[in-house]
Chains A and B, each alone.
Chain A
Amino acid sequence: EVQLVQSGAEVKKPGESLKISCKGSGYSFTSYWIGWVRQMPGKGLEWMGIIYPGDSDTRYSPSFQGQVTISADKSISTAYLQWSSLKASDTAMYYCARQGAVAGTSFDPWGQGTLVTVSS
């Protein structure tokens, strides 16, 4: 079974750094892009960026370029999303999702989500 399992919920203070993870299993981790999607409380889905673990080629949405860093460690089939200095406005649910096997422009499956709360 293809599965993405994300790290647990985080509570941080403004200015702190954070790195959340997304571990893939059940497929060739290096052969599919993995994307990150933000969902702020009560809001819609926003694409943040995408990485190809095979060669670490990374693309960012212009809205998130410079705000976050996406990386991957193919030796442990894990993708990461990190912040160097969190803001209260980073409070959101963050999902990772794999490139669709049939339709490469879709996301399937998705991780269960990681809730990030930034509050002083």
Chain B
Amino acid sequence: DIQMTQSPSSLSASVGDRVTITCQASQDISNYLNWYQQKPGKAPKLLIYDASNLETGVPSRFSGSGSGTDFTFTISSLQPEDIATYYCQQYDISRGFTFGPGTKVDIK
């Protein structure tokens, strides 16, 4: 199985801060890595696909990078509406889909 780890598990930052979340895969997944935002009581929403591509309509303060086993998700300037849990997700042709454990982001 491919294991996904995310860090940190939670963070608290001020409005306007730059926030970075990392996701690590236990083996090479090329760029098959997606990022989702889940606000409390809501369904997840796709933000970034294939590691670095911004989904249509998603604000440009969100970005992603990486390939292979190490990936980064960044919010360039944290806004109050960004309070959510963020999940990475990988796809492996033999084992299917795996989500990371999530990173809860709140405002300091």
- Please report A residues at the B interface, Cβ cutoff 8 Å: 35, 37, 44-47, 49-50, 59, 61-62, 95, 97, 100, 102-103, 105-113
Q: Which residues of A contact B38 (CB under 8 A)?
A: 45
Tell me whether B102 and A45 are in contact (CB under 8 A): yes
- Please report B residues at the A interface, Cβ cutoff 8 Å: 1, 32, 34, 36, 38, 43-46, 49-50, 53, 55, 87, 89-91, 95-102
Ranked nearest first, the 9 interchain pairs of A and B with the lowest CB-CB distance are A105-B91, A103-B49, A108-B46, A47-B97, A110-B43, A45-B99, A106-B34, A106-B49, A44-B102
Can you identify 9 A-B contacts, CB atoms within 8 angstroms?
A: A37-B99, A45-B36, A45-B89, A45-B102, A61-B96, A105-B90, A106-B46, A106-B91, A107-B46
Q: How far is the CB of A39 from the nearest CB of chain B, in Å?
A: 9
Closest to B92 in A: A105
In the complex, A107 Cα to B100 Cα: how many Å? 14
Tell me whether B102 and A105 are in contact (CB under 8 A): no
With A44-B102, A105-B34 as known contacts, state yes or no: A110 contacts B44, CB within 8 Å.
Answer: yes
With A103-B50, A106-B49 as known contacts, state yes or no: A47 contacts B43, CB within 8 Å.
Answer: no
In the complex, A44 Cα to B38 Cα: how many Å? 10
Tell me whether B97 and A95 are in contact (CB under 8 A): no
Q: How far is the CB of A55 from the nearest CB of chain B, in Å?
A: 18
Q: How far is the CB of A50 from the nearest CB of chain B, in Å?
A: 7
Which of A49, A59, A105 has the largest number of chain B CB atoms within 10 A?
A105
Q: Which residues of B contact A37 (CB under 8 A)?
A: 44, 99
Tell me whether B44 and A95 are in contact (CB under 8 A): yes
Q: Which residues of B contact A109 (CB under 8 A)?
A: 46
Q: Which residues of B contact A62 (CB under 8 A)?
A: 1, 95
Tell me whether B49 and A47 are in contact (CB under 8 A): no
